[in-house]
Amino acid sequence: TGLTTLDNGFVNTASTKSAITFIDGDKGILRYRGYPIEQLAQHSSYLEVAWLLIYGELPTADQLATFDETIRRHTLLHEDLRRFFDAVPHTAHPMTTLSSAVSALATYYEDVLDPNDPEAVEASTIRLLAKLPVIAAFAYKKTIGQAMLYPDNSLSFVDNFLRLNFGTMAEPYQVDPIVSKALERLLILHEDHEQNASASTVRLVASTEANMFVSISAGIAALSGPLHGGANEAVLTMLARIRDSGESVSTFVERVKKKEEGVRLMGFGHRVYKSYDPRARLVKESADEVLDGLGVHDPLLDLARELEQIALEDDYFIERRLYPNVDFYTGVLYRAMGFPPRMFTVLFAIGRLPGWIAHWRESNADATTKIGRPQQLYVGPAERDLGR
Contacts to ligand CMC by CB under 6 A: 9, 193, 196, 227-229, 231, 256, 264-271, 320, 322, 325-327
Measure the CA–CA gap between 67 and 17, rounded to whole angstroms.
28
For the bound state, the minimum distance from the C-beta of residue 195 to ligand CMC, rounded and expressed in Å, comes to: 11
- Nearest to ligand CMC of 13, 368 (CB atom): 13
- Nearest to ligand CMC of 135, 322 (CB atom): 322
Chain center to CA of 193: 10
Active site residues: 270, 327
DSSP single-letter state for residue 29: E
CB nearest ligand CMC: which residue? 269
- Nearest to ligand CMC of 43, 259 (CB atom): 259
DSSP single-letter state for residue 343: G
For the bound state, the minimum distance from the C-beta of residue 339 to ligand CMC, rounded and expressed in Å, comes to: 17
For the bound state, the minimum distance from the C-beta of residue 329 to ligand CMC, rounded and expressed in Å, comes to: 12
- Nearest to ligand CMC of 326, 349 (CB atom): 326
Measure the CA–CA gap between 146 and 263, rounded to whole angstroms.
36
Measure the CA–CA gap between 369 and 17, rounded to whole angstroms.
10
For residue 35, the cross-strand partners are 32
For the bound state, the minimum distance from the C-beta of residue 387 to ligand CMC, rounded and expressed in Å, comes to: 43
Measure the CA–CA gap between 192 and 188, rounded to whole angstroms.
8
- Nearest to ligand CMC of 109, 276 (CB atom): 276
For the bound state, the minimum distance from the C-beta of residue 282 to ligand CMC, rounded and expressed in Å, comes to: 14
Of the candidates 287, 351, 357, the one whose C-alpha atom is nearest the C-alpha of residue 46 is: 351
Measure the CA–CA gap between 42 and 125, rounded to whole angstroms.
25
- By the 8 A CB rule, do 4 and 375 touch? yes
- Nearest to ligand CMC of 184, 192 (CB atom): 192
Task: Find the DSSP H helices in the chain.
Answer: 37-43, 46-55, 61-73, 79-84, 94-106, 118-144, 157-166, 177-189, 197-206, 212-223, 231-245, 249-257, 278-294, 299-312, 315-319, 327-337, 344-365
For the bound state, the minimum distance from the C-beta of residue 262 to ligand CMC, rounded and expressed in Å, comes to: 9
